[in-house]
Structure 1
Amino acid sequence: MPSRRGRTLPLRHLLVMLTAIGLLPLALLGIWSIHVASEYRQREQERALLDQARALSSAVDAELDASVATLSGIARSPALMAGDIRAFYEFARLQARGQPEWLAVFLADQDGTTLFRTNAPFGAEPPPSADPDSLRQALSLHRAVVGRIARGKGGRAAVPVRIPVTDSHGRNYVLSAVLKPDRILRVIERQQAPSDSLIAVIDATGHIVARSKNQDRFVTQPITTTLRGLLAAGGREGAGPTLTKEGDAVTTAYSSMSRYGWTVVANTPTAALRAGFFEGIAVYGTGIVLSLAICIALAYWLSNRIVRAFNELRRAAAAVGAGRPFAVPHSRIRELGRMGRALEAAGRQRTRREQERAKLLASLEEALARAHEAGQAKDEFLAVLGHELRNPLSPIVASLDLMDMRDEPGARRERTIMRRQVTHLKRLVDDLLDVSRIASGKLQLELRPLNLADTVRHALAALPGDAIALQAPAAAWIEGDDSRLVQVLNNLLSNAARFGSTATSVTLSVDEAAGLARLSVQDNGIGMDAALLSRVFEPFYQAPQQLARRTGGLGLGLAIVRKIVELHGGSVSAHSDGPGRGSRFEVTLPLAAVRSAPPDAAAAPAQTPRRVLLVDDNEDAAAGTASLLGLMGHTVTTAHNAAQALAAARTQAPEVAILDIGLPDMDGYALAVLLRRQHGAALRLVALSGYGQQADLARAAQAGFDLHLTKPASLDDLQRALAAPSLPAAAQPSRSPAP
C-alpha cells in the first residue's frame, strides 16, 4: 500500500525560521561585553603569574650560585692545584659529606675521563656519564655549567653542577657536584603557592627539576608538548594556555632569564581565570531567559522534527559504514530526502566495492606470502651458497699458505696464479652476499674517526703486483668504516685492472671550502661510452664482452661501491672521454673534525708455540690448516666431529680451540659452551666457518667465542686467532666516559 506523502519543504526555510526567532543578536552582544571584561582580568592575572615566575627564577639562580661558590671553594684546594689527585679525592670526599644535598663530587680531566667520584673508592671504574654534553660545555666555555637532570644508576634524580679548574701546571679539569633536586624543591615550597596552582623548575633541556605537586612522580620527565610549544613561541618570557602532566588545562607564565638556561613556570587553572566570565554569563543569562522562553517553546516543535530526521540519517550512515542493510524513511524536508537517497546509493556502491576489495586483498595477501617465501629462500640460498663456496676455498688457501711458507721455487708462478684466482672467487662470493645485504637493508657500517689518507696508503701497500701511483695529503679525516672504504678502493682498482689499465693512479685531495674529501682512481683502460656511463653503477650490469669473458666478474663491484659510499653520506661518479681513452671514478666523502695522529702501535710480540684443538668436518681443510699451524710451530690436534673434540680436549687441555660451526653431531656453538665449561676462561675459542653474516658473528659472540673468522682464513687471520690473550680487564688502563 503506497504511503501518503505531504508537501516537502527546503531545509533552509526551517533554519531561517529558527534563527529569526529569539534574541540571538542581543545575547551575543552581551556575551561579547562580558568576554572583553574577562580577558582584561585574565591578562592582569597572567601578569601576576609572570612576576611570580621572575622572582622564583632569581631565587633558583641564587641557590645554584651558592652551589657553584661552594664547588669553587673546593676547587681551590692546594692538593688539586699541585696535581695530587689522591689527596684531593680525600679532601673532596670530606667536603661532600658536609653537603647533605650533594650526592657526590666528580673530577674529570680535559679529555672527559672521570678521575674519581667521592661516592666510590678511589680508582674504582666510573659508571657511564649521565650528561656528557654539559661536561664538554664546561670544558669549551670555561665557565660554570649546570647540566640536565637525570636518574643515576641507583634510580635517584640528580643535577650536575660543573666548573672548569686549571691547576698550577696548566692542566685543565672539570669539578662536578651532583645535587639532589630537593634543594630547588624547597625554594618552590617557600612560595606558599595556592593549592590549585602549580610551580615548576625546568632545566635547559626541557626536563622537570622540581615541582610543587607530584614531585616524585614527574621529576626528570620532559615537559608537556603544549608547554614546549609555548616556550618556543614566546621568547624568554611569556604566558599562555597549556596542559599539565596530569592533563589539567591551565594558564602558564614562564621566565627563562636564568643564567644557567633554566626556566621557571607558574600556572593556575584556566577555569579559575575564567570564573568571572562564567559568573557574568550566568547573571546575563538569567536576564534574558524569560525573553527567550517563548522563542524556545516555538522552536521546540520545529527542532524536534529536524532532530528526528537527522537521527534517522545518522543511523543509516552508521549502517553504511558497517556494511549492514538499512532503509531510509521518508522525510518531509526536501534536502534530507535527497540525502537519504544518496545514502542508499552509497550503500549499494559500498557493497560492490567491498566485494572487489575482498578479492583484491586475498590476491595481495597471496602475492605477499609468495614474495616473503621467495625472499627467505633467497637469503637461505645465499647463506648456504657462501658456506658451500667458502668451505672448499679454505683447504685451497691453507695449501697455498703452506707452499708459500715452504717457498718451493719451482711452483712460485703456479702459486701466484692459484692465489689470484682464489682471491677473485672469494671476491665474487663476498660481492654476492654484500648485494643481498644491500637489497635487504642489512649492510651496516662501524663508523669512527678515520684518516682516509692512511687507509688509502695501507690499502695500496697491501696490493700485489706493480705499484700504483698515489698522490695524497698527510691527513684527510672523515667518519668512516675502515674495512668498507678499503673494499671501495679495492673494487675500483680491480675494475681498472680487469678492463685493461696498465697505469692506474690514485689521487686523494681535501676541499676545505666544500667540506669534502675527494678520492679519484684514474686508469688508461678501455674507457666507456655515454650509455655505459649512465648504467655503470647498476647491480649485475656489465659492459658488453666477448664470449670468452676475459674480464670476468658479476657486475656487482661498482654497485657495492655506490651503496657503501652513500651510507657514508658521500657520492661516487664515473667519467670517461670515450672508448679507448680510460676512465676515472671519483668518490666524495664529508670531512670530519681534524684529529691528532694516533701514536705508533708497538710491535706485536712473537708468537709462542701453543696447543691447538682444530675441529672441522672437512678433512681436507682440517689437514691443510693443521699442517700450516704445525709449520708455524704449534702443536695441533684435529677432530672431525664434536665427540672427537671433547675426547681430545679431555686427553690434553688445549690453549686455543678453532671450531667449525657446521659439525655433523653438534653445532659449533654448543661445542663452544661445553669446552668453555670444561676449561674455563683461559681457553681461547675461535669460530672458523663458511657462514659470515652479521647474525652469525653475533651468535658466535653470544656462544662465548673470542673471535670469528670467515673461511677461507688467511695466514694473518690464523696468526691473529693464535695471538696471546689480552690482559685481564683489571690490568688494562680504562678510559670510561665521565659522569
Structure 2
Amino acid sequence: MILRRGITLSLRHLLILLTAIGFLPLALLGTWGLMTAADVQQREQDRSMLELARALSSAVDAEHDGAASALTGLARTPQLQGGDLAAFHDMARRQAAAQTGWLGVILSDKAGHAVLRTMAPFGAPAAPVADPASLARAVATGKSVAGSVMRGKGGRAAFPVRVPVDLPDGRRYVLSAVIAPDRIVNVIRRQRAPGDWVIAVMDGTGRRVARSRDHERFVGGAGSPGLQRLLRSGAEGTGDSRTIENVEVRTAFTTSARWGWTVVVSAPTASLRLPLLQGALVYAAGLVLTLAACIALASLLARRIVRRIDCLVQQAAALGAGKPVDVEPSRVREIEQMGQALAAAAAARDRHERERSTLLASLERAVASQQAALAEAREAGRAKDEFLAVLGHELRNPLSPIVASLDLMDLRGETGAQRERAVLRRQVAHLKRLVDDLLDVSRIASGKLALELRPVDLADIARQAVAAASGMEVTLEAPASLWVLGDDSRLAQVLSNLLSNAGRFGGGTAAVSLSTAAGPDAEQGMARLAVSDRGTGMAPELLARVFEPFYQAPQQLARRTGGLGLGLAIVRKLVELHGGHVTAHSAGPGQGSTFEVLLPLAQCGQAPVAAPDVPVAQGLRVLLVDDNEDAARASALMLEHIGLDVQVAHTAHEALAAYGGSGADAALLDIGLPDMDGYALAVALREAAGGRALRLVALTGYGQKGDVARALDAGFDLHLTKPASLDDLRRALAA
C-alpha cells in the first residue's frame, strides 16, 4: 500500500506558478529599460533644444554683426570723416531707409548727447537718449554693443546697435542704429520648431526682445521668475521652468559671448512626457496580455502533458501485469503516477533480458555478415589490383616491339618514313601515358603511392620538363633555383601532365612561370608554379569538376584531344601528397586557362650530380629473354645494330641452356615467361654464373612499385618497364 504524504500540486498549477515567477524579472527589467529610455530621451531632447538655441544665437549674432558692419561702413564716409554733418545726415537717413527693420540712425558724442537723428530734420533739438547705459559702455570700451529693448514715446519697441567712431581730429562719436524687434522675430520664424514650443530672445538686461508666441504682448518685458532663476545658473544650460502663461516647460538657453543676448527655447513638459507615458501604457498592456497568453498556454500544455502521462501509466501498468513494487512518494501527483507505472514495468525485466539475448545473437550475426562483406571487399580490391597489373602488362607488351622497331629504323637511317615514325612515336607515348595514368590513379585510390620527399630544385625540374615537351611551343620564366620539399620524379610528372593538358587544349602554346608565392598568409612559405595557355578555356561548371577522375569536357565525336580524364586528377593527388594544393582559373570559353600549383619551400639543398654516360662496350654479350617473339626480334636487331652480341631465348629453359653454353655479360629478362617467371630465372642465372660478373635487367610490363622491389630482391640490378627505348637499354647495359 502506498501512502501519500504532504500536499501535492497538479502540473498545471506548477507551470502557471513558474510562468508568473519568470515574468517578474522581465517586468522589472522592462521598467528599468523604460526609465533608462526616458532618461536618454530627456537628454536627447535637451541636446536638440540646446542646439536650436545655439543656432538661433548664431543667427541673432549675425543680425547684430550685419548692423555693426553697416554702421562701420557708414562711419567711414567722407561726409562724417570731414565733419560735414548735414550731408552725413542725408546719407544716414537714406541708409536707414534702405535697411529692413531700421527705424533710424543716431550720432551721439562721448558725453551722451545726440548730435543728429535721422528720425528728425537736421538741426532739430536733441531728444533724450534711450538706453544711456549701452551708450556709455560703447564710449568706455570702444567696442560695438547691442543695447536693451525700449519703448519710445509712440509706444513702439526698439533696440540700438552702437558702434564707436573716432574722427581724424580726435573726437569720438557713437553711431547707433535703432532697430525694430521684428527683425529678430523674423529670425525666430525662420526656424522649424514644433508649434507648441516657445522661443524667446532676451537682451543683456534680461528683457524680452522677441518671442515666437504673442510677441507684441510681451515684448520688452522680463522673463518669468523660474526662467530668471534658470538664466542665473550660467551662460547656457537646460532645466525646468514656467512660461509667462504659467505653463510648465522644459527650457534650454544660451548666452552670446559676443553681444550678451540670450536665446531661450522652451517645450511644454506635457508634450515631452506624452510619448513616454504612451510607451509605458503599451508596455504594461503588452506585459499583461503576454502573461495571460502564457498562463493559457501553460494550462493547455499541462493538460496535454497530463494526458500523455495517463497514457504512459496505462501502458506501463499493462506491461507490468499489475505486480506490486515499492515506489517512493512524490509531491507531484502526475510524477508519482509515472513512478508507479515504471515500478510495475520492472516486473517484466526477465522478459526484457530474453529479448536482449535474442538481440545480441542477432547483432553477432550482423557483425559476422559485415566481416564477410569486408573480406569480400578486400578480395575485390586485391582482384582489382591484380587486374590492373595484368592490364598494364598486357598493354605495355605490344608497345615494346613497336618502340624497338622505331628505334631500329632510326638507327638504320631510313628517311622514307620519318613523318610516319614520328606519328607512331607520339601515339605510343600517348598510350604509355594512358596506362601509367590508369595505374597511378589505382595506387593513389588505394593509398599505396609513396613519395620520397627531399629538397629538390623545382626550377631545374621545370627546365627539364619544358625541354622534353615536344610538339608545342613552351616559354619558361623561372629563377636560377627554387628549392621545395618533394619527389623529383612525381613533380616532373605533375608538370608533364599540365603541359600535356595545355598541348591538347591550349592551341599548341603554353607559358610556365615559377616564383615564390606572395599572397595571403596561407600562401607564405610556398612556391608557385603556373602553367597558362590561350586555348579553349573553361566554363564555370567545368572549372568546378576539372580535377575529378575520368571527368572530361564535352568533346566532338572524333575526340581529337583524347585522354581518359585522369591527368589532372593525378596532378591534384600528387600535389596534395606534397602538402600543397592546385587550382584552375579561366575567364571563360575561348579565353585560355591557368593552372597554379603551390608547394612548400625547403632549405637549399645540393643538386644531384648526374652520372656521366658510360658507353656500352662493343661486343658485349647480351642474353635477351622474352616470350613475345616480335619484341625479342626487334630488340635483338636494335642491340646488334649498336655493336652488341645478342642471344635470344623465348623460355626460361632456353635461356639457361644458352647461358650455360656460351655465357653472357648481361641479361635482359622478361618476367612473365611461360615455363618459369623472371624472378626465378634471375636466381637460377646467378647460381649458374658461380660468382662471375653478370648484369641482370628486368624488362617487363609489370611496373608497379611492388614489382620493382620484388625484382631487386630477386637479384636484378635494374628494373625497366616496357616499352623501353634504345637510350633506356643503353643506360641499363652500361656497367
User: Is the alpha carbon distance of 1:497 and 1:342 closer, same or farther for their aligned partners in structure 2, counting shifts above 3 Å?
Assistant: farther
The answer on whether the counterparts of 2:624 and 2:667 sit within 8 Å (CA) in structure 1 is yes
CA-CA distance at 1:407 after TM superposition: 2.4
The answer on whether the counterparts of 2:472 and 2:508 sit within 8 Å (CA) in structure 1 is no
- Three-state SS of the structure 2 residue aligned to 1:682 is coil
Partner of 2:657: 647
Larger Rg: 2
CA-CA distance at 1:364 after TM superposition: 3.0
Distance in 2 of aligned mates of 1:608 and 1:439 = 44
Partner of 2:568: 558
Distance in 2 of aligned mates of 1:508 and 1:541 = 28
Give the unaligned 5+ runs of structure 2: 6-320, 329-338
Distance in 1 of aligned mates of 2:596 and 2:635 = 41
How big is each residue's C-alpha offset from its partner over 1:179-225, in whole Å with a ceiling of 9 and x where there is no partner?
xxxxxxxxxxxxxxxxxxxxxxxxxxxxxxxxxxxxxxxxxxxxxxx
CA-CA distance at 1:357 after TM superposition: 3.0
User: Is the alpha carbon distance of 1:588 and 1:647 closer, same or farther for their aligned partners in structure 2, counting shifts above 3 Å?
Assistant: same
> Aligned partner of 1:688: which letter?
L
Partner of 1:453: 459
- Three-state SS of the structure 1 residue aligned to 2:509 is coil
> Aligned partner of 2:373: which letter?
A
Distance in 1 of aligned mates of 2:603 and 2:554 = 44
Partner of 1:347: 353
Distance in 2 of aligned mates of 1:330 and 1:666 = 82
CA-CA distance at 1:383 after TM superposition: 0.9
CA-CA distance at 1:472 after TM superposition: 0.3
Distance in 1 of aligned mates of 2:400 and 2:506 = 30
User: Is the alpha carbon distance of 1:9 and 1:477 closer, same or farther for their aligned partners in structure 2, counting shifts above 3 Å?
Assistant: farther
- Three-state SS of the structure 1 residue aligned to 2:450 is coil
The answer on whether the counterparts of 2:456 and 2:607 sit within 8 Å (CA) in structure 1 is no
How big is each residue's C-alpha offset from its partner over 1:306-327, in whole Å with a ceiling of 9 and x where there is no partner?
xxxxxxxxxxxxxxxxxxxxx9
Residue 608 in 1 paired to residue 614 in 2?
Answer: no
1:619 aligned residue (629, 633, 653): 629
CA-CA distance at 1:548 after TM superposition: 1.3
2:582 aligned residue (569, 572, 596): 572
1:365-376 alignment to 2 at 5 Å? 365-376=371-382
Distance in 2 of aligned mates of 1:366 and 1:640 = 43
Distance in 2 of aligned mates of 1:708 and 1:380 = 19
1:249-288 alignment to 2 at 5 Å? none
> Aligned partner of 1:543: which letter?
A
Partner of 2:527: 517
- Three-state SS of the structure 2 residue aligned to 1:604 is coil
1:633 aligned residue (643, 647, 650): 643
Residue 397 in 1 paired to residue 397 in 2?
Answer: no
TM-score by length of 1: 0.52
Q: Judge which range, 491-500 or 335-344, deviates more.
A: 335-344
- Three-state SS of the structure 1 residue aligned to 2:558 is coil
Partner of 1:26: none
Distance in 1 of aligned mates of 2:374 and 2:502 = 41
CA-CA distance at 1:367 after TM superposition: 3.4
How big is each residue's C-alpha offset from its partner over 1:456-493, in whole Å with a ceiling of 9 and x where there is no partner?
10111122234410000011101111111111111111
Residue 718 in 1 paired to residue 723 in 2?
Answer: no
Distance in 2 of aligned mates of 1:668 and 1:677 = 14
Residue 702 in 1 paired to residue 713 in 2?
Answer: yes
Aligned length: 403
1:386 aligned residue (392, 412, 419): 392
The answer on whether the counterparts of 1:8 and 1:332 sit within 8 Å (CA) in structure 2 is no
The answer on whether the counterparts of 1:9 and 1:332 sit within 8 Å (CA) in structure 2 is no
> Aligned partner of 1:701: which letter?
L
Distance in 1 of aligned mates of 2:586 and 2:374 = 43
Partner of 1:416: 422
> Aligned partner of 2:651: which letter?
N
Distance in 2 of aligned mates of 1:532 and 1:344 = 63
> Aligned partner of 2:617: which letter?
T
The answer on whether the counterparts of 2:473 and 2:509 sit within 8 Å (CA) in structure 1 is no
Distance in 2 of aligned mates of 1:442 and 1:385 = 18
Residue 661 in 1 paired to residue 664 in 2?
Answer: no
Distance in 1 of aligned mates of 2:355 and 2:536 = 64
> Aligned partner of 1:406: which letter?
R
CA-CA distance at 1:378 after TM superposition: 1.5
Partner of 1:589: 599
Distance in 1 of aligned mates of 2:545 and 2:611 = 46
CA-CA distance at 1:355 after TM superposition: 5.5
Residue 491 in 1 paired to residue 501 in 2?
Answer: no
CA-CA distance at 1:652 after TM superposition: 1.2
The answer on whether the counterparts of 1:539 and 1:559 sit within 8 Å (CA) in structure 2 is yes
User: Is the alpha carbon distance of 1:518 and 1:500 closer, same or farther for their aligned partners in structure 2, counting shifts above 3 Å?
Assistant: closer
- Higher RCO by CA contacts (8 Å cutoff, separation 6 or greater): 1
User: Is the alpha carbon distance of 1:602 and 1:540 closer, same or farther for their aligned partners in structure 2, counting shifts above 3 Å?
Assistant: closer
Partner of 1:477: 483
Distance in 2 of aligned mates of 1:449 and 1:533 = 32
CA-CA distance at 1:345 after TM superposition: 6.5
> Aligned partner of 2:732: which letter?
A
Residue 677 in 1 paired to residue 683 in 2?
Answer: no
User: Is the alpha carbon distance of 1:659 and 1:9 closer, same or farther for their aligned partners in structure 2, counting shifts above 3 Å?
Assistant: farther
Distance in 2 of aligned mates of 1:704 and 1:455 = 31
User: Is the alpha carbon distance of 1:457 and 1:352 closer, same or farther for their aligned partners in structure 2, counting shifts above 3 Å?
Assistant: same
> Aligned partner of 1:612: which letter?
V
Distance in 2 of aligned mates of 1:601 and 1:560 = 28
CA-CA distance at 1:405 after TM superposition: 1.6
Partner of 1:529: 539
User: Is the alpha carbon distance of 1:542 and 1:342 closer, same or farther for their aligned partners in structure 2, counting shifts above 3 Å?
Assistant: farther
> Aligned partner of 2:638: which letter?
L
The answer on whether the counterparts of 1:687 and 1:709 sit within 8 Å (CA) in structure 2 is yes
CA-CA distance at 1:501 after TM superposition: 2.0
How big is each residue's C-alpha offset from its partner over 1:267-305, in whole Å with a ceiling of 9 and x where there is no partner?
xxxxxxxxxxxxxxxxxxxxxxxxxxxxxxxxxxxxxxx
> Aligned partner of 1:664: which letter?
P
Partner of 2:704: 693
Give the unaligned 5+ runs of structure 1: 1-5, 11-326, 725-739
CA-CA distance at 1:339 after TM superposition: 8.3
> Aligned partner of 2:437: which letter?
D
Distance in 2 of aligned mates of 1:407 and 1:341 = 99
CA-CA distance at 1:547 after TM superposition: 1.4
Q: Judge which range, 432-441 or 359-368, deviates more.
A: 359-368
CA-CA distance at 1:347 after TM superposition: 2.5
Distance in 1 of aligned mates of 2:495 and 2:503 = 12
CA-CA distance at 1:499 after TM superposition: 1.4
- Three-state SS of the structure 1 residue aligned to 2:416 is helix
CA-CA distance at 1:346 after TM superposition: 4.6
Distance in 1 of aligned mates of 2:704 and 2:572 = 20
The answer on whether the counterparts of 1:520 and 1:584 sit within 8 Å (CA) in structure 2 is yes
Distance in 1 of aligned mates of 2:461 and 2:692 = 35
1:35-50 alignment to 2 at 5 Å? none
User: Is the alpha carbon distance of 1:392 and 1:596 closer, same or farther for their aligned partners in structure 2, counting shifts above 3 Å?
Assistant: closer
- Three-state SS of the structure 2 residue aligned to 1:402 is helix
Q: Judge which range, 367-376 or 354-363, deviates more.
A: 354-363
CA-CA distance at 1:694 after TM superposition: 1.3
